[in-house]
Amino acid sequence: MRSWPNTYLPAIDGLKLPALNLKTSRGNSNFEELSDIRMYVCGITPYDATHLGHAATYLTFDLISRYLQAQGKHLSFVENITDIDDPLLERAIREKMDWRELAADQVDLYRSDMTALRILPPKDFVAVTDVMPLVENAITRLQENGYTYQIDGDIYFDISTFLSDLPTSREKALEIFAERGGDPLRIGKRDALDPLLWMANKEGEPGWESAHGFGRPGWHIECSVIALRYLIGPEVLTSKFRASGSSLITIQGGGSDLIFPHHFMSAAQAKALTGTPFAQSFIHAGMVGLDGEKMSKSKGNLVFVSKLLLSGVDPMIIRFALMQSRYSDDRMWSDDVLATASTRVARIRQALARELVQPVEPHLEAIARHLSNDLDTPEALKVLDLWAEETLATYEGVNESGLMARTVDALLGLAL
């Protein structure tokens, strides 16, 4: 699927970047030895693009991409679009729309929001409906490897060998599994937590012909397959494949609501396919609430990037506002958060417009240091404020505002 336009990434010379140290949900984040980074980020289900929770998630991986590329590393970044899934079909029925049309509209909106926010695009932006033969082959391989069983034409993945690795208690896992698309109560399952690989067609739903019957794939297998195929190559889904390292990809990313079951299941399925652990690091962005409440579809309080943009909010102020909190923290959005960001950005722009500014190097070093410390954007932005205040307090200084602007653009994605 067409990605969105690439964003200009200024080169930054002479700034020493400390090793990026990220707190992972699982695995380690020592990337210093690696020259090639393979990053997979779970994309949206295109039925409610793009709310601020989405924006905060994709901003997180954009900051990681920017930092690693500024260190001179080669980054391969792949993102999917779950363009066939229950919530999409449900909304299409509710709105009396063709599900394909709804998905196409929402993907368009997503692309324009990502472009406005200056999120670096993935090299491959892959729709699930474009990779059905790959999903079909992967399920065949899982069958050959002994990981599947059937109930009334539905194919399940046998999770038993991976259960010792659950990221939460079994009781909690069962509860979350039911909330996030799982069917723990289905009669005939070997384990209540086994996820669906392939669903036999239900009347009125879209389906695809396959060796596993007419139907559609389960959620988790889509991401295992897209990540492996586009970050490693077609050979990964054959019996000849042998992994070269101790994990298949470097980073698996997404919102913290994907830790379980989605990332746990996709990783288990990737390992069952290849015999090798899936990702070196699992990194998750926190959730965004509104005015003290959880932001959710069911509460009807989602704040959409496109609506903010339409009302005239500068996308760089949205980006700045999201960076006022640390990526991994759950945070609240409010008009005040946006107003504060707007005031701060105005001061920084005023300083950048000056011919003579305060020396930028110590400030840039501090920004890099804060980013390397688990992407501490709140502290990095405070350094920018400080530099702006020092600059605006005098008419003396050095001719370095261009260097400041370019580096802030490269590392923080703020074109000010």
Minimum CB distance to Zn ion smaller for 42 or for 345: 42
CA distance 12 to 367: 13
CB of 121 to Zn ion, least distance (A): 17
Sheet-wide strand order for 124-127: 26-27, 279-285, 249-255, 36-41, 74-81, 124-127
H/E stretch holding 217 reads strand 215-217
Size of the site for Zn ion (CB under 5 A): 2
For tokens 């399940």, what's the residue? 156
Count each helix (H run) and each strand (E run) in the chain, helices first. Answer: 13, 13
Minimum CB distance to Zn ion smaller for 223 or for 267: 223
From candidates 12, 42, 89, 265, binder to Zn ion by CB under 5 A: 42
For tokens 């896992």, what's the residue? 173
Minimum CB distance to Zn ion smaller for 223 or for 357: 223
CB of 216 to Zn ion, least distance (A): 16
Minimum CB distance to Zn ion smaller for 41 or for 92: 41
Which parts of 265-316 are beta strand (E)?
A: 279-285, 288-290, 293-294
CA distance 369 to 2: 35
Vertex 3 angle, CA 82 and 92, to 5°: 35
CB of 164 to Zn ion, least distance (A): 23
Interface with Zn ion by CB under 5 A: which range of 36-44, 93-101, 320-328, 356-364?
A: 36-44
Under rule CB under 5 A, which residues in 322-381 are in contact with Zn ion? Answer: none
Minimum CB distance to Zn ion smaller for 257 or for 330: 257
Q: Hey, what are 208's tokens? A: 């695809």
Minimum CB distance to Zn ion smaller for 237 or for 321: 237
Minimum CB distance to Zn ion smaller for 32 or for 165: 165
Interface with Zn ion by CB under 5 A: which range of 42-50, 108-116, 200-208, 384-392?
A: 42-50
CB of 262 to Zn ion, least distance (A): 6
Minimum CB distance to Zn ion smaller for 42 or for 89: 42
CB of 170 to Zn ion, least distance (A): 23
CA distance 323 to 376: 9
Minimum CB distance to Zn ion smaller for 223 or for 249: 223
- Distance from chain centroid for Cα 23: 16
CB of 122 to Zn ion, least distance (A): 13
CA distance 76 to 328: 23
For tokens 């001719």, what's the residue? 399
Closest C-alpha among 261, 310, 252 to residue 282: 252
Interface with Zn ion by CB under 5 A: which range of 40-48, 177-185, 341-349, 364-372?
A: 40-48
Closest C-alpha among 103, 258, 102 to residue 179: 258
Query: How many other CB atoms are there within 10 angstroms of residue 135's CB atom?
Result: 25
3 state SS of 378: helix
CB of 230 to Zn ion, least distance (A): 13
Binding pattern for the stretch 88-107 against Zn ion, x by CB under 5 A and - elsewhere: --------------------
Do 276 and 243 meet the contact criterion of CB atoms below 8 Å apart? yes
Q: Hey, what are 81's tokens? A: 């679009």
CB of 259 to Zn ion, least distance (A): 12
Does the protein bind Zn ion through residue 128 (CB under 5 A)? no
Minimum CB distance to Zn ion smaller for 42 or for 84: 42
Interface with Zn ion by CB under 5 A: which range of 39-47, 50-58, 143-151, 387-395?
A: 39-47
**Residue length of the chain:** 416
Binding pattern for the stretch 200-239 against Zn ion, x by CB under 5 A and - elsewhere: -----------------------x----------------
CB of 126 to Zn ion, least distance (A): 11
CB of 328 to Zn ion, least distance (A): 19
SS (H, E, C) 171-195: HHHHHHHHHCCCCCCCCCCCCCCCC
* Site residues for Zn ion per CB under 5 A: 42, 223
